[in-house]
Amino acid sequence: MLSADELERYARHIVLRDVGGPGQAALKEAAVLVVGAGGLGAPALMYLAAAGVGTLGVVDDDVVSLSNLQRQIIHTTPDIGRRKVDTAAERIHDLNPHVRFEAHATWLSAHNAMELIGGYDLVLDGSDNFETRYLVSDACFLAGKPLITAALGTFDGSLTTIRAHERNDSGKFNPTYRCLFPEAPPPGTVPACAEAGVMGALAGVLGSMMALEAIREIVGFGEGLVGRLLMLDARTMRFETLNYARDPANPLNGDGPTITDLSGHR
């Protein structure tokens, strides 16, 4: 049930035929976990809060540094040295007090991933390393949770939705993250953000698109990104979409699955 204040706050959503009152109510009932309150997580959190997602959880054990502020817009200069989950909580409350915020100031690991992810309807992964991406995707499959995952390069980014625990219209399982990226690149071949740099506004674009995809998944309109990798080249301002399918040899929902828990992760 939406209050009078919420009806006014979300009026521009409610008049949309594809959202309406039922869609806005679905957003209010939803619980979304965002992994990382950084370049991707910051704008995603703000737009999810603005949209009226009822419960937002954030996993991040980092503190705000000056170099974060070029792209992590949920934090401000006076926040330097503070925990990111704390400053994110304040911004979200200021933006929308109707949102319940849950701070998880911890490193996501094989020991806590299932418990953390199990408490939410949908997961957004804005982490900046392959180790965490594989952990999150494996945990979401095992927990039966949909996952929206994005990645940033220096002037490029990508976004897709994973529902590998579900079957498509033909009765086959949807593809996993491991179908798209069977193995992580060798150590040292992909430079970290601190070494290679990243365009700040690009993080805002991809993070906002993560929020949009989450809203579409919750409300249930449009064509989702399951089996489609959306890629953005910021140098040429071009979008491309790559279709990908389930790999029968993948270790999660393949013909001979070998991953049945998170024991292979740290």
Instruction: Write the Ramachandran bin of 16: left for phi over 0, alpha for psi from -120 to 50, otherwise beta.
Output: beta
161, 225 Cβ separation under 8 angstroms: yes
Structurally, the chain folds into a number of domains equal to 1
Q: Is residue 261 part of a domain?
A: no
255 within domain boundaries: no
**pLDDT for the residue 104:** 98
The answer to whether position 254 is within a domain reads no
Position 196 scores a pLDDT of 78
Asked whether residue 60 is assigned to any structural domain, the reply reads yes
Percent of the chain with pLDDT over 90: 92
What was the pLDDT predicted at 139?
98
Does residue 256 belong to any structural domain of this protein?
Answer: no
Pairing of strands 156-162, 228-233: antiparallel
Distance of CA 72 to the CA centre of its chain: 15
- For residue 187, the model assigns a pLDDT of 74
Domain range for 52: 4-243
CA 6/CA 26 separation, integer angstroms:
13
Is residue 257 in some structural domain?
no
> Has residue 258 been placed in a domain?
no
Q: How far apart are CA 152 and CA 204, in angstroms?
A: 11
Per-residue pLDDT of the chain (266 residues; tens, 9 = 90+): 899 999 999 999 999 999 999 999 999 999 999 999 999 999 999 999 999 999 999 999 999 999 999 999 999 999 999 999 999 999 999 999 999 999 999 999 999 999 999 999 999 999 989 999 999 999 999 999 999 999 999 999 999 999 999 999 989 999 999 999 998 877 766 676 666 789 999 999 999 999 999 999 999 999 999 999 999 999 999 999 999 999 999 999 999 999 999 999 98
Beta strands at 55-59 and 31-35: parallel, antiparallel or unpaired: parallel
Name the nearest CA neighbour of 38 among 217, 193, 213, 195: 193
248 domain-assigned: no
For the domain that residue 142 is a member of, what is the CATH number?
3.40.50.720
Please report, to the nearest 10 degrees, the dihedral formed by the alpha carbons of residues 57, 41, 150, 140 taken in order: -10
User: Could you tell me the pTM of the whole model?
Assistant: 0.96
Sign of the Cα pseudo-torsion (246, 249, 255, 259, in order): negative
Question: What is the identity of the amino acid at 43?
Answer: P
Over the stretch 113-161, which tens digit does the pLDDT of each residue have? 999 999 999 999 999 899 999 999 999 999 999 999 999 999 999 999 9
Q: Are 142 and 114 in contact (CB under 8 A)?
A: yes
Residue 119 three-state SS: coil
